[in-house]
A and B are shown apart, each in its own frame.
Chain A
Amino acid sequence: MSRYVLGVSALYHESAAVLLRDGVVVAASSEERFSRQKQDSALPVRASRWCLEQAGISMADVEAVVYYEKPLRKFERILVSQLTGFPSTLPAFQRTALTWLTDKLWVRNALCKELGARPSQLMFSEHHLSHAASAFYCSPFERAAVLTVDGVGEWATTSLWQGDEHGLKPLSEVRFPHSLGLTYSAFTAFLGFRVNNGEYKVMGLASYGEPRHVDKVEKVLQGVDGGGFQNDTRYVAWHKSTVRSYSGAFEQLFGAPRQPGTPLDPRQGEGKHYADIAASVQVVLEERLLALAERLHADTGLDALCMAGGVALNVVANRRLLRDGPFAHLYVQPASGDAGGALGAAQWAWHEVLGQPRVDPGLTPGLGRDWPDDRVRTLLDELNVRFDDVADDRIERAADDIAAGKVIGWFQGRCEWGPRALGHRSILADPSRPDMQDRVNKVIKLREPFRPFAPSVTAEAADTYFDVPPGGEGPAEWMTIIGDTREEHREAMPAITHVDGTARLHRVRREVNPRYHALIEAVGARTGRPVVLNTSFNLKGDPIVSSPVHALSTLQSCEMDAVYLGPCRVARGQLPRGGAS
C-alpha cells in the first residue's frame, strides 16, 4: 500500500502544496495557479485539495502533513527584534501583533480546519531545513554541500549544510537581521520594484550598469572573516519596520529612490544611475555568495553544491558561483523560493522522520494541473470559440507560426512547478527577429522594455549556441543559470541575448519533454536554429496561466497571434467579441 506525505508552505511569499507518494512527487502546485493572485500567500487550500484529487485519495490517507517552518520560533524572532528596537518599533509591533494574534499563531488549527488534517498528522519542519531538503533530496548527488540563502526563516537567513547518506547536517548559519536576501530586496524597493517579485528585474537591470557603487553597497553589507557577512543596521530598517526595508541613512548614501511605475531607460540619465546601483548590488551579492561557497567547500570537502532559498533564483550569481567558485557541480531546483519549502518539508519528513531511503523524486517540469484534450475541445465548443483541430500536426503548425514571425501561446500538458515557464505554459516566438524583444515586452507581456527573454534550445544543440560553465547543464534544464550566447550567434538571436551577451537558457531534453523538444526541432528545421524565445504564459501582474479560460483571456488581453491549447489552435480573430462596446 502506498504511503503519502503532503508538504505545505504558506503565509509569507508564495504558498504551495506538494504530495509525495512513496517519496515520489505526484502533484505540486502553488496556490496562485488556482486563486490567480500572484504569489498568493494564503494557506494552499485549493492546491492541497487538487493534490489529493490528483492522487485519488483523501486527507485521511495521508500519513503526514508537514508545514515548512516553525511558526512559534518565527514569532519569537519577531518579538525579540521588536523588543530590541524599542521604542521605534511601535508601528511594527501594532501591525505584527494584530496579524500574529489573529492569524499566524494558529497555523496548527488552520491546517486542521482548512485542509481537513488531524492534529496527529501534523509535523513542522524548519524554514532553512525545508529549503535544504528541497535542494539535496531532488539532486542527483549522493553527497553534496548545501547552501540556503533567502530573506529570513525563523532566525537563520543563510545556512550551510552537508547532505549525505545520513541525511542533512547543519554546519553554520547567519542570523537575522543580517541577510543577503533582505539586502537585495531593500535595493529592489529602492529601485522602484515590488519586493519579493521584482528582484529579477534588478538582476536584469544590473547588466546595463557599471558597478560604480560597490563601496557604498559594502557599507550596507560587509563581508566578515570566515566567509560570512553582516549588515550595518544603520542603513536598513527591516528589523524595525514591516513596511520599510531601508533607512534614511541608506537614502543619503544612494540618493533619492526611484518612483515605482515611472519610465526607466537604463542607458541614460537617472535610469543609468539606477542601473549602476543594480550592478553594484549584484556584484556584492556574488562576492558574498562566493565567500560562503569557499567556506562550505572547505568545511565539507565535497565537489557538488545544492542551493535553495529565494537568492538561489539569482541565475547570474549561480553562473558566477559555478564559474569562479570551488564546486564542480551545481543543482538548483526550479521552485527554490518559499513555494519549494513545501517540497522540502515533505521530503525531509519522508526521509528523516519516516526513515525512508532516498528515491528518485521524479521532479519533472510539469507537476501541476492538466487539461485532457477532449476537455479542451468541449470547453471551446461551449464557449463558442472557433478553433482549428491540430491534434495530429500541432508541432508543424506551431513551428510554421513561429517561423513566420508569429507569437504563440503554448499550453500543453501539466502546468509547471515553480516560477519558470519550461515548455508547458509558455509564450513562444522566433528569437532571430530584431523587433521581437520589443514586441513581446511592450505589446504582449506589457512589461519593462529592458528585460531580456530566455531561449529554449534542444540539449543536442545547446553547446553550439550557448556557453554554460561545466557542471551547469542540470540547472540549465530548470532555467536556474545563465550562459553566454556564443559570439558568432549573438547578432542572429537578438531577442534572447541580453545586453551583456548572456542568456538564461532552457536546455530541453527529448526524454523530459518530448513534445516541446519536437517543436524546437521543427522550428530549427525552418529557421536553421533549434532555438525559440520562451517566456512565461502570463501578463504582467498575473500568475502563469493554468486553465484554458485564463489562456484565452490572455490571448484577448494582448497582441499574441494564437494559442495552442492542447489539440486546438485558437487564433486571435477566432475569439468571440466582448460585450456591447
Chain B
Amino acid sequence: MRFADIRPGPVLVGVSHIVWRLPGRPATKMAEFAHTELGSGHDMLEACELTPRPEMRPLYFLHALDELRHSRMFRERARALAIERSRTQAVLDDSGYLHSHGIRGSDPLFTELGELDFLAFVWLHEQRGAAQFGIYAGLMDEDPASREMFARIEKDERFHIAYSRKELERLAAQGQASAVSAAVWRIRWRRFKQGWLRFSRLIGDTMAKLWLTVIYVVGITPFALIAKLTEREQGGLVPAEVDDRPAAQRALEQL
C-alpha cells in the first residue's frame, strides 16, 4: 500500500495569498486556529485515555501536548496581532473555549471512529495542517515571529504524520492492508460528507429562515396583536399558581 503525501493545491495557495493579506485577517485566523488546535488537543487526550493499546498511549499523549501548546501559541500570536477590531477580539475571547451544539453532545472522536479510522484521520488531518502551515509560513515575510511559529508547528505536524503513518504501515504490513486502505478512504469520504452537510445545513437554514419570516409576518401578526392587547408585563411578586393535582400526575406533563 502507498501512503502518498498530500501536497497543497494551487487553489489553496492562491486563496491563502488573498486571505492573509486582508486587513485584520491574520489575527482572526490565528484565533480560529487556536480554537481548532484546542479541540484537537482534547480529542488526542481522549484517545490517550481510551485506547486499548498501551503502546499508542504515549504517542497520543505527546500529540495532545503539542496541540495544546499550538493552541496557546496561536492565541498569543493572535493577541499580539490583534488590532482594535471587535471581531478579532470576540474570536480571540472565544478561542479558549470549546462549545457544545445541539441537544446531543458528540462522542469522543476516538469512540466515534475506532482506533484504525482514528489513525487514518490523524494522518490525513495532520498532512493537511502541515501543508497549510507551510504555505502560511511562506506568506509571512513581514512578520518573522509568525513565520517562525508556523515553521515550528509544521515541524510538530511532521512528527504527527510520521508516527501515524508508521503505525498505519505497520498494520498494513501485518496483513491489514485492505482494512487500512478502507479506513483512509472512509476518512476522506467523511471529510467530503461533512463539507456537504455543512453546505446543506447552510442552505437548509437559509430556506428555513425565509419560511419562518413569511410565517412571522403573515401568520403571526393576528396572534401578536392579541398577545400585545393581553400583555401582562407585571413585575413584583405574584402569588404562585398552586396545582393541587398529585405530584405523580404533574410529573408526567411537559407543559
Counting chain B residues whose Cβ lies within 8 A of the other chain, the interface size class is 35 or more
Chain B residue, CB-CB nearest to A81:
B227
Pairwise interchain contact B45-A550, C-beta atoms closer than 8 A: yes
A384 to B62, CA, bound (A): 10
A178 to chain B, nearest CB (A): 4
Pairwise interchain contact B238-A578, C-beta atoms closer than 8 A: no
User: B-facing mask of A148-172, CB < 8 A → 1, else 0?
Assistant: 0000000010111000000101111
Pairwise interchain contact A579-B156, C-beta atoms closer than 8 A: yes
Partner of B48, one of A110, A383, A541: A383
Pairwise interchain contact B98-A170, C-beta atoms closer than 8 A: no
Q: What chain B residues lie within 8 Å of A167 (beta carbons)? A: 247
Pairwise interchain contact B237-A35, C-beta atoms closer than 8 A: no
Interface residues of A in 232-263 (CB under 8 A from B): 233, 259-262
A124 to B220, CA, bound (A): 29
Pairwise interchain contact B98-A580, C-beta atoms closer than 8 A: no
Given known A178-B235, A541-B97, contact A42–B45 (CB-CB < 8 A):
no
Pairwise interchain contact B227-A80, C-beta atoms closer than 8 A: yes
Partner of B237, one of A83, A107, A173, A382: A173
Pairwise interchain contact A43-B103, C-beta atoms closer than 8 A: yes
Pairwise interchain contact A175-B254, C-beta atoms closer than 8 A: no
Indicate if B188 sits at the interface (CB-CB under 8 A): no
Pairwise interchain contact B254-A227, C-beta atoms closer than 8 A: no
Residue in A70, A103, A175, A379 whose Cβ sees the most chain B Cβ within 10 Å:
A175
Q: Tell which of A92-100, A276-284, A328-336, A400-408 binds the partner.
A: A92-100
Task: Tally inter-chain residue pairs, CB-CB below 8 A.
Answer: 226
Pairwise interchain contact B252-A123, C-beta atoms closer than 8 A: yes
Chain B residue, CB-CB nearest to A85:
B224
Pairwise interchain contact A174-B237, C-beta atoms closer than 8 A: yes
Indicate if B12 sits at the interface (CB-CB under 8 A): no
Counting chain A residues whose Cβ lies within 8 A of the other chain, the interface size class is 35 or more
User: A-facing mask of B146-182, CB < 8 A → 1, else 0?
Assistant: 0000001101101110000000000000000000000
Q: What chain B residues lie within 8 Å of A443 (beta carbons)? A: none
B243 to chain A, nearest CB (A): 9
Partner of A86, one of B97, B103, B106, B224: B224
A73 to B225, CA, bound (A): 21
Pairwise interchain contact B235-A98, C-beta atoms closer than 8 A: no
B87 to chain A, nearest CB (A): 11
Chain B residue, CB-CB nearest to A354:
B248
Q: What chain A residues lie within 8 Å of B205 (beta carbons)? A: 98
User: A-facing mask of B55-67, CB < 8 A → 1, else 0?
Assistant: 0011001111110
Q: What chain A residues lie within 8 Å of B132 (beta carbons)? A: none
Pairwise interchain contact A177-B233, C-beta atoms closer than 8 A: yes
Given known A46-B105, A174-B236, contact A124–B253 (CB-CB < 8 A):
yes
Pairwise interchain contact B105-A124, C-beta atoms closer than 8 A: no
A97 to B213, CA, bound (A): 11
Q: Is the interface of A mostly helix, strand, loop or mixed?
A: mixed
Q: What chain A residues lie within 8 Å of B99 (beta carbons)? A: 37
Interface residues of B in 230-255 (CB under 8 A from A): 231, 233-242, 247-248, 251-255
Q: What chain A residues lie within 8 Å of B159 (beta carbons)? A: 579-580
User: B-facing mask of A372-404, CB < 8 A → 1, else 0?
Assistant: 000000010011100000000000000000000
Interface residues of A in 549-581 (CB under 8 A from B): 549-550, 552-553, 556-557, 575-581
A54 to B119, CA, bound (A): 31
Given known A86-B228, A90-B216, A160-B237, contact A123–B251 (CB-CB < 8 A):
yes
A122 to B251, CA, bound (A): 8
A104 to B102, CA, bound (A): 8
A84 to B253, CA, bound (A): 26
Q: Tell which of B3-11, B17-25, B88-96, B191-199 binds the partner.
A: B88-96
Pairwise interchain contact B251-A229, C-beta atoms closer than 8 A: no
Partner of A83, one of B63, B220, B234: B220
Pairwise interchain contact B247-A352, C-beta atoms closer than 8 A: yes
Chain B residue, CB-CB nearest to A42:
B105
Pairwise interchain contact B212-A76, C-beta atoms closer than 8 A: no
A349 to B233, CA, bound (A): 32
Pairwise interchain contact B160-A579, C-beta atoms closer than 8 A: yes
Pairwise interchain contact A549-B58, C-beta atoms closer than 8 A: no
Partner of B227, one of A86, A104, A177, A379: A86
Indicate if B68 sits at the interface (CB-CB under 8 A): yes
Pairwise interchain contact A540-B235, C-beta atoms closer than 8 A: no
Given known A110-B104, A557-B72, contact A66–B251 (CB-CB < 8 A):
yes
Partner of B104, one of A42, A540, A578: A42
Residue in A171, A227, A260, A553 whose Cβ sees the most chain B Cβ within 10 Å:
A553
Pairwise interchain contact A84-B224, C-beta atoms closer than 8 A: yes
Partner of A159, one of B63, B240, B254: B240
Chain A residue, CB-CB nearest to B63:
A579
Pairwise interchain contact A549-B253, C-beta atoms closer than 8 A: no
Residue in B72, B86, B104, B240 whose Cβ sees the most chain A Cβ within 10 Å:
B240
Indicate if B186 sits at the interface (CB-CB under 8 A): no
Q: What chain A residues lie within 8 Å of B63 (beta carbons)? A: 579
Indicate if A486 sits at the interface (CB-CB under 8 A): no
Pairwise interchain contact A353-B251, C-beta atoms closer than 8 A: yes
Q: What chain B residues lie within 8 Å of A575 (beta carbons)? A: 65
Pairwise interchain contact A45-B152, C-beta atoms closer than 8 A: no
Pairwise interchain contact A579-B66, C-beta atoms closer than 8 A: yes
Indicate if A269 sits at the interface (CB-CB under 8 A): no
A75 to chain B, nearest CB (A): 9
Q: What chain B residues lie within 8 Å of A97 (beta carbons)? A: 212
Indicate if B16 sits at the interface (CB-CB under 8 A): no
Indicate if B41 sits at the interface (CB-CB under 8 A): yes
A246 to chain B, nearest CB (A): 16
Indicate if A439 sits at the interface (CB-CB under 8 A): no
B128 to chain A, nearest CB (A): 17
Interface residues of A in 345-359 (CB under 8 A from B): 348-349, 352-353
Q: What chain B residues lie within 8 Å of A110 (beta carbons)? A: 103-104
Q: What chain B residues lie within 8 Å of A513 (beta carbons)? A: none
A557 to B73, CA, bound (A): 11
Given known A35-B105, A40-B100, A556-B68, contact A383–B240 (CB-CB < 8 A):
no
Chain A residue, CB-CB nearest to B38:
A541
Pairwise interchain contact A41-B89, C-beta atoms closer than 8 A: no
B35 to chain A, nearest CB (A): 10
20 contacts between A and B (CB under 8 A): A36-B42, A36-B45, A40-B100, A70-B254, A70-B255, A94-B216, A106-B103, A107-B254, A122-B252, A125-B251, A158-B237, A171-B239, A174-B235, A175-B234, A175-B238, A228-B237, A557-B72, A578-B66, A578-B156, A579-B155
Which residues in B have some Cβ–Cβ distance to A below 8 Å? 41-42, 45-46, 48-49, 54, 57-58, 61-66, 68-69, 72, 79, 84, 86, 89-90, 92-93, 96-106, 152-153, 155-156, 158-160, 205, 208-209, 212-213, 216-217, 220-221, 223-228, 231, 233-242, 247-248, 251-255
Beyond the given pairs A83-B227, A553-B65, A579-B160, 14 more chain A to chain B contacts, judged by CB atoms under 8 angstroms and listed by A's residue number, are: A42-B102, A71-B254, A83-B228, A86-B221, A110-B103, A177-B233, A224-B235, A226-B236, A382-B54, A382-B57, A578-B62, A578-B66, A579-B63, A580-B155
Q: Across chains A and B, which 10 residue pairs bring their CB atoms closest together, nearest first? A: A230-B235, A42-B105, A541-B96, A228-B236, A86-B224, A170-B240, A228-B237, A83-B227, A123-B251, A72-B255
